Amino acid sequence: MILPSSKEEDKLLKKRYAVFNDDGSLAELKGFEVKRRGELQLIKIFQSLIFEKFLLGTTTEECYAAVAKVADQWLDVLFTKASTLDDEELVELIAENRSMSKTLQEYGAQKSTSISTARRLAEFLGDQMVKDKGLACKFIISAKPYGAPVTERAVPVAIFSAAESVKRVYLRKWLKDNSLTSFDLRSILDWEYYIERLGSVIQKLITIPAAMQGVPNPVPRIRHPDWLFRRVATAQDRFQQHKLTSFFKAAPRPPAYMNVDEGDDRSNDGSNDGPEGGDIEDIGTQRSLSKPKVAVVNRKVPQAKNAGPTVSKKALPNPTTNYSAWLRAIRPIWKAERASRLQAAGASNLPAIFRGVQQPIARSTSWDIIQIRPTQRDGRFMMWLGTDNDIVQVVLRIKRQFYINLKAPATEGGAHPTFQPEYLAERVSKILPRSHPSQHLYQITVSEDIYKSNVGHFSHLMNNPQTDGVYETQVSV
């Protein structure tokens, strides 16, 4: 079976196929140009010769090489402007035959190659010749006028049989070239148009299917469409980016039954819950569908040498009768146990924001920030972190930081110091915007609640005549 391809990307052609019998004869042919009326005789002959060539060769490359020979023969006819044929044979190959189902007047202002041919026949043969229905229009496509649509370049073949003076007048008129001196058929034909017509059929039957099967273009004179060039280049590119899934493959499934509990009595007597050692009567029972056991190791946390004083748990009040007294007594015990756990896990090396987090989670190798959202308290944010198997909530306290460039050094101590002790002010050396000179630059680090409660102080500091510039006050916390 032969299935032609479409010239458009990712589009399929419907009801077009050729089916062969086992003996190589053509069983069914549907949808091809060879069966259409009005198609170029050149294309019909080409298709009638090409189908049997698809059965030649033992490989795909040899098959397309045999088919390409036929395509090259007919391309040579067009590229050489039919130098080996006479005018009558050339007209028989490339002339189109169309019949009009209506009269010329009924078509009105419609445009087509048949209508243009009928109107031009009426010009030099008279209106009486084209007044009836079923007019047979035989025409060729001329190259002139350049840039005009195909419907305006249809020339009736009958004009070439007219007298030389009549042919000269009407061809100059239709081709819109008063300087035309050569009225030979080959000089008037639009050869590029006919090469494109034949090339379109070659693309559908030969070049595009060959490229899809990994065969180089068997007819190099017919260029691939742009989308096919991209697809072939991508498939043949050694440095193309592969999909992530191409680096992996499915791993074999683990055994359905695994006995990992070495202390189980069943492992000692040689019994096994797997499919190989189980009893046939137990197949389908609940025991055979049980989940694999996982070994659990309970290890006592060694107590540190300097774990601190132990708190006795004896003589605790009854929480049902005196809850307040029981809560006061149990809090030291909780605090001591928590300090013991933190010290045993080495929590002294953790940052302060992780002190309240469980140690296995705090020691996780991977942290993913899920969300940071502000709280009702200024300068305080809630950060949600994702670990290997848990989500942790951590409190963030972020301080405001900005820079003040003074004209003179800041006053320390005394009745009116430049900065207050509630926040940190340290002298730094930075490159200021627009190359502004850094005379006495100070970095102010203050918590958000102190900054907002002392708005007057900071406003006076920023608007002081001794202040040369303030920077990064608009940076959000």
Distances (CA, A) of 289 to 95, 261, 273, 274, 282: 79, 17, 10, 10, 10
How far apart CA 473 and CA 477 sit, in angstroms, is 10
- Please check the confidence at residue 132 and state whether its pLDDT lies above 80: no
Question: For residue 401, what are the β-bridge partners?
Answer: 445
As a dihedral over the C-alpha atoms of residue 459, residue 461, residue 463, residue 469, rounded to 10 degrees, the angle is -120
Percent of the chain, pLDDT > 70?
79
The answer to whether 428 and 442 have CB atoms below 8 angstroms apart is: yes
pLDDT for 403 equals: 92
Q: Mean pLDDT of all residues in the chain?
A: 78
Confidence of residue 445 (pLDDT cuts 50, 70, 90): very high
- pLDDT, average across residues 101-128: 81
Q: What is the pLDDT of residue 310?
A: 55
- pTM value is 0.48
Q: What is the mean pLDDT of residues 353-360?
A: 55
Task: Please state the rounded mean pLDDT for residues 88-101.
Answer: 84
DSSP notation for 154-169: EEEGGGGGS-HHHHHH
- pLDDT higher than 60, residue 285: no
Closest alpha carbon to 466 in 419, 423, 420, 426: 419
Query: Please, which pLDDT band fits residue 164 given cuts at 50, 70 and 90?
Result: confident
Pairwise CA distance, residues 195 & 77, whole Å: 10
Nearest to 9 by CA among 207, 228, 199, 196: 228
The stretch 352-356 carries a mean pLDDT of 55
> Residue 323 carries which side chain, given as an amino acid letter?
Y
pLDDT on residue 449: 86
**107 pLDDT tier (thresholds 50, 70, 90):** confident
**Who wins on pLDDT, 89 or 295?**
89
3-class secondary-structure state, position 199: helix
Q: What is the pLDDT of residue 300?
A: 56
Q: Please tell me which residue, 165 or 235, carries the higher pLDDT value.
A: 165
| For residues 168-187, average pLDDT | 85
Pick from 165-179, 284-298, 303-317: least confident: 284-298
pLDDT of residue 281: 47
**Residues 18, 2 contacting (CB under 8 angstroms):** yes
CB within 8 A of 16, min separation 6: which ones? 3, 4, 30, 31, 32
How far apart CA 159 and CA 180 sit, in angstroms, is 15
**Hey, what's the torsion of the CAs at 458, 463, 465, 470, to 10 degrees?**
80
Angstrom distance (rounded) from CA 379 to CA 475: 13
Q: Which whole-number Å values give the CA distances from 406 to 47, 434, 455, in the listed order? A: 91, 17, 19
pLDDT, position 455: 85
Spatial neighbors of 294 by CB under 8 A, at least 6 apart, are 260
Dist CA 47 CA 34 (whole Å) = 6
Q: What backbone torsions phi and psi does residue 473 show, to the nearest 5 degrees? A: -80, -20
Alpha carbons 114 and 139: distance in angstroms, whole number: 8
In the predicted model, is pLDDT for residue 371 greater than 80? yes
Compute the Cα dihedral for 407, 411, 417, 422 and give only its sign: positive
Amino acid at 463: N
User: Measured between alpha carbons, how far is residue 283 from residues 180, 256, 276, 277, 287 in Å?
Assistant: 97, 13, 11, 11, 8
> How far are the Cα atoms of 46, 64, 71, 75, 214 from residue 51, in angstroms, in the given order?
9, 11, 12, 17, 21
Least confident of 77-91, 165-179, 233-247: 233-247
Length of the chain (residues) = 477
Q: CB of 293 within 8 A of CB of 312? A: no
Q: What pLDDT shows up at residue 344?
A: 62
* pLDDT-derived band at 358, boundaries 50, 70, 90: low
Task: Return the structure tokens found at 352.
Answer: 């302060």
- What six digits make up the tokens of 320? 């049902």
Averaged pLDDT for residues 272-297: 49
Helices 41-50/87-94 angle, 10° precision: 80
Q: What is the pLDDT of residue 348?
A: 46
pLDDT band with cut points at 50, 70 and 90 for residue 443: very high
Identify the pLDDT of residue 370: 87
pLDDT at residue 262, rounded to an integer? 45
Q: Is residue 268 over pLDDT 60?
A: no
Residue-level pLDDT at 286: 47
Residue 318 has pLDDT above 70, yes or no: yes
